[in-house]
Structure 1
């Protein structure tokens, strides 16, 4: 059972029904014009390009499933799921960044733009999915892709960016805080069963710098 906002009344109801919190999902937000400067660079030999529909789906899903191996939703994205997202009006391959070395995909940063009214009176950018292949961890790809994704959103005149991340993904939270994000909302999952490890994965975003 999800409680959006994690309000005291929701926690009291869950406790009364014998439900315990098993997952905490944070929304984090960032003021793009005043974000801290970043010098994060892509590692030597790594190049960045944009997603090509009809060509990159299989490679992206392989890396995404490895990056989100313990995630209950994102790690199980099917080809049909990905095609459905590509058919959404918000989909823009120019905001879907792929980091490669010698033609092999290592990581990606997928952004989206919410129209005015969805998250306030102005359009809002989102760091939608950020995934790093486990074999490429420790290279600083998460930080570098975060920088490039935010530059992309700011370049479209957006002033606010958001993302969603699990509270226990401490590596991701530290990286996002370093980029200027602050917690702006909390949702909590309650269950009568013990949690099944989701550490290291987020609702839509994972980070393995």
Structure 2
């Protein structure tokens, strides 16, 4: 007898833009049932994301710490950083399908979420422009579930493109991971676009490994 396969699919109402269907699977598998459902609804492939994980802490002698750029991080400040962060974020994600269109309103909605801890929202000021944020690493802690341990997420990591290729991205991710470790979190995770080779290379060099693939149809 064949064992039934159960696949959890998430349907999101996009209002006048229709619906979105997403599901997770192992990277090496390609379940056909969700695709049949998507096609029956007239939906088409939109995005593919990898979830990557690594254990914490990151050892002090890990190769990723060699030659690491020194940065001074501080916590996000309500009432003074919102506009600066939206600018930095939207520049960093100018070609991203969703993250690059943040506004003060959408940021405010996220900041109002109960999981937000500003101590885990790390920013680096631009030394050349005091009124600007150079980069940021926003972390999030997910409570343990029946299927997963407590996870520390690199929720959003971005650097102003004017400072790309200077080591800030690596330093910010490590700052976020070290913060999560200080919070006694033993496993870190993040989501990344499956076709973002530069980000994948960075995260793999930091010890992350792909654990699942998320497909999104619209």
Report if aligned partners of 1:27, 1:184 keep a CA contact under 8 Å in 2: yes
User: Which residue number corresponds to residue 8 of structure 2?
Assistant: none
What are the Cα deviations for residues 93-116 of structure 1, in whole angstroms up to 9, with x where unaligned? 111111223223111100011122
- Offset of residue 41 of structure 1: 2.8
Segment drifting more, 10-19 vs 134-143: 10-19
Aligned equivalent of 1:31: 55
Q: Which runs of 4+ in 1 moved over 3 A?
A: 11-22, 33-36
Name 1:124's counterpart in structure 2. 151
Distance 2:43 2:155 in 1: 30
Cα displacement (A) at 1:9 = 2.5
- Choose 182-191 or 28-37, whichever is displaced more: 28-37
Question: Is 1:3–1:187's contact at 8 Å kept on the other side of the alignment?
Answer: yes
Q: In the alignment, which of 82, 100, 103 is matched to residue 75 of structure 1?
A: 100
Q: Hey, what's the Cα distance between the residues in 1 that align with 2:122 and 2:161?
A: 18
Q: Write the deviation string for residues 11-43 of structure 1: whole angstroms up to 9, x where unpaired.
A: 455567776534211111111146682325335
What root-mean-square deviation, in Å, do the aligned CA atoms of Structure 1 and Structure 2 show?
A: 2.3
Partners of 1:167 and 1:158 lie apart in 2 by 26
Confirm whether residue 89 of structure 1 aligns to residue 114 of structure 2: yes
Tell me, in whole angstroms, the C-alpha distance in 1 between the residues paired with 2:147 and 2:215. Answer: 20
* 5+ long unaligned stretches in structure 2: 1-19, 26-30
Whole-Å separation in 1 of the counterparts to 2:146 and 2:125: 33
- Using the alignment, how far apart are the partners of 1:12 and 1:145 within structure 2? 41
Q: 2-side partners of 1:15 and 1:22: how far apart?
A: 13
Q: Distance in 1 between matches of 2:139 and 2:115?
A: 10
Map 1:44-123 → 2, pairs under 5 A: 47-102=72-127, 103=130, 104-117=132-145, 120=148, 122-123=149-150
Q: Equivalent residue of 1:89, what SS?
A: coil
Unaligned runs of 5+ in 1: 192-209
* TM-score where L is the length of structure 2: 0.77
Give 3-state SS (helix, strand or coil) of 2:73's partner. strand
